[in-house]
Chain A
């Protein structure tokens, strides 16, 4: 009964979307903050190597740091100014990272003053991947994995389909929705470039069916193209996880511990490819991104184009926020980390800034109870793990056992288990802690 099959995956949850406040507001630009904090390790892989010295003047768009090895990307100056210092800063993950602190000139222009022109038409895939690395592009959906590595197909693997992730399944976030509506031509250009770089012949854009305006717009734009299509998928969390999306769109399943390339697929986020299609032809680096600034604590909600390195305190000043006890979350409420300092900068992987205020914060500090083995978490887990068992092992400190017997490393921390738990057990926090301890033991 293919006619009635809804494009979806099994398990998952349906949290309230909370997207109405920002989905209809066009992307706006924020002014430059007086100071930018630019960690050198904004991506997965080796941190970039600084190219500048203390006191040096840089112009908007100029490379500040170079890629250190293959799995690394450079970093470009988001604004014209002077390098104040090179120092260590605490990241939202709780680790120390070296960072470049940039004092922005008051009259800094929005025009990008540094670019590296390339003849894109005549580049072979290898040179195209190099160009993508040079522009400092990483996955803008949140994981910040270097795009040139993701688009490079590993030796001995055959990949036929490029999946473009426009699900945006996290509640509150609408930045990918706005990008699809406002930059569809950049997105389509980026898809063509990514198909050339990865050698894929087909592409499919997966969009949750609560964003039918974006689906229709892209279908219209793609009317004459037969190897790229836009497909609506069920609105369900975590539809935007690449393994879930591949299952929904193509019916293929990534083997346990494998990557999408094992089953002939490569996945990229719409924001990433829109940035690729917009910046690469101009020869510019990735220096700013669209983030959703939202939540009941924010006065002027919306999607803002912000320079990388902007401290969240400055964004809050611009967008206005209510006082009292607030909770600040980078990204969406399901997976985003809460931050403890307003100096935390926006990095390449930050997709939103969510501010929850009094009633919700109080809601979160509900009392915790013992596990009653109801199994809600088991029916919610999209990876078909047993979070209840993992939680019990974590409470007993059996971290090695969690990885060996209970498949802890297959958990991608989507948060469905914590969301449904009637006893309010902070399962994902247990898992993050266990993974951190296991990583430390292995090192």
Chain B
């Protein structure tokens, strides 16, 4: 038997070689028949994008954005994370116009830090704004104001938000991609995404009037109406005891509107740095106000 039969070793080698050849044949065939053309530029553009997958452009991530660029559906400038140079590089590569998109940043409609806005109670629960808001709306005297327990800073993937010494979030305009995460997390709805060209800004949401509003916060909008009177018609309106800016008429805006504001609730923003008007009372205090 031994002299005519093949050794088990040779059988195994032959069988495995046959199997390997057959399967590689199927793979080679499949590669031919099932191959899909993909634009090589997608990979190239994806390389140039920041890979943050933040979603601020409106697509699911950087690769879908690259696909949309090649189809011509979006403009390179709509990526708010890329630098000017990177955007220009993509535009040059594709031979298209980079587009002109006004940068948007997240802005907080509250200026009531611990040094100017009173707490009416001491809060000692979970250190989260959402958790504090379900208990009587939180400890702050002003029911509309920032609770200051930094849910927004924690949710920000770009590390663009930090809390300042008086407990208000500060947005770094360079890092902010306008992804909307802080807008969604804030239980008081204080954040909104604003084009940087919206330079006139009301940093308050308090709906009380006059002294009632000022009892809780020194930088509140008291609905005195001076800004609305000084601004061109149709730009500022007092609605429900709060100054509301109609950004449809943003081209009329000028720093003249903020000059007579007694509290400094309405500000003029230059490079995301807010300036108060001349009439606004100066706050030198840095310590938190005592509980009422």
Contacts and interface: CB of A to CB of B under 8 A. Distances in A.
A340 B120 contact: yes
Given A325-B122, A364-B124, A429-B125, A94 B130 contact: no
A222 B143 CA distance: 51
A88 B134 CA distance: 17
Nearest to A89: B143
A437 interface: yes
A363 to B, nearest CB: 11
Nearest to B140: A340
B13 to A, nearest CB: 52
Contact of A365 (B124, B130, B139): B124
B133 interface: yes
A201 interface: no
B138 A433 contact: no
B36 interface: no
B131 interface: yes
B137 interface: yes
A426 interface: yes
A84 to B, nearest CB: 14
A344 interface: yes
Interface in B135-176: 135-139, 143
A433 B133 CA distance: 8
A341 interface: yes
B126 interface: yes
A353 to B, nearest CB: 14
A240 to B, nearest CB: 23
Given A90-B143, A325-B122, A340 B137 contact: yes
| Residue of B123, B126, B136 with most partner-chain A CB within 10 A | B136
A95 B120 CA distance: 17
B21 to A, nearest CB: 49
B254 interface: no
A341 B120 CA distance: 7
A338 interface: yes
A340 B138 contact: yes
A436 B134 CA distance: 8
B136 A94 contact: yes
B135 A90 contact: no
A338 B134 contact: no
Contacts of B130: 433, 436-437
B128 interface: yes
Contacts, number: 56
Contacts of A88: 207
A432 B136 contact: no
**Interface footprint category on B:** 10 to 19
A92 interface: yes
B11 interface: no
Interface string B60-101: 000000000000000000000000000000000000000000
A94 B133 contact: yes
A90 B134 CA distance: 11
A436 B130 CA distance: 9
A96 B120 CA distance: 18
Interface in B105-135: 120-126, 128, 130-131, 133-135
B53 to A, nearest CB: 18
Contact of B131 (A95, A325, A365, A430): A430
Interface string A82-125: 00000010101111100000000000000000000000000000
A429 B136 contact: no
A337 interface: yes
Nearest to B121: A340
A429 B121 contact: no
Contacts of A364: 124
Contact of A433 (B123, B131, B137): B131
B136 A90 contact: yes
A337 B131 contact: no
Nearest to A93: B134
A337 to B, nearest CB: 6
A340 B143 CA distance: 10
Interface string A35-73: 000000000000000000000000000000000000000
A432 B122 contact: no
A429 B139 contact: no
A338 B137 CA distance: 11
Contact of B137 (A90, A325, A365, A432): A90
30 contacts: A90-B136, A92-B136, A93-B134, A93-B136, A94-B133, A94-B135, A94-B137, A94-B138, A95-B137, A96-B143, A325-B122, A337-B135, A338-B135, A338-B136, A339-B136, A340-B123, A340-B135, A340-B137, A340-B138, A340-B139, A341-B136, A344-B136, A426-B131, A429-B126, A429-B134, A429-B135, A430-B131, A432-B131, A432-B134, A433-B126
Instruction: Report, nearest first, the 10 A-B pairs whose CB atoms are least far apart.
Output: A340-B121, A94-B137, A340-B136, A433-B131, A90-B143, A365-B124, A339-B136, A90-B137, A432-B134, A94-B133
Interface of A: 88, 90, 92-96, 325, 337-341, 344, 364-365, 426, 429-430, 432-433, 436-437
